[in-house]
Amino acid sequence: MMLSCKEASRLMSEALDRKLAVRERIALRMHVVICAGCTRVEKQLAFLRQAVAEIPAADRVPGEGTQ
C-alpha cells in the first residue's frame, strides 16, 4: 500500500491520538522515508503539540495588559 501525502498526514496526526496498527505504521514509515515534505510535517506536528502546551494563556490575553 503506497500512501499519498494527504493520507500520510492523516496517519501522522492520528499517531498523536491513538496507537497505529502495525500495517499503518509500516506504510507510514515507507512513505515518510522517501518524502521530504512529510518528514517535515511529521516533525512539525510533534512540535505543535509541545508549543501549544507553552502558550501562556492563563496569564494574559494578547492585546491586553497583564492583569
Partner 1 sequence: MDPAEFEAHRTALLRFALLQVRDRDAAADLVQETMLAALTAADRFSGDSSVRTWLTGILRHKIVDHIRKAGREVSVDALAGEDGADIVDAMFRQDGHYVQMPSEWRDPGQLLSERRFLEVLELCVRGLPAATAQAFLMREVMGCETGEICKELEISATNCWVLLHRARMRLRACLEERWFGAGRK
Q: How far apart are CA 53 and CA 67, in angstroms?
A: 21
Print the binding letters for residues 2-31 with partner 1: x by CB under 8 A, - otherwise.
-xxxxx-xx--xx-xxx-------------
Q: How far apart are CA 67 and CA 39, in angstroms?
A: 41
* 1 binds partner 1, rule: CB under 8 A: no
* 41 binds partner 1, rule: CB under 8 A: yes
* 55 binds partner 1, rule: CB under 8 A: yes
Cβ at position 46, least distance to partner 1 in Å = 9
Helices assigned H by DSSP within 1-67: 5-14, 22-34, 36-54
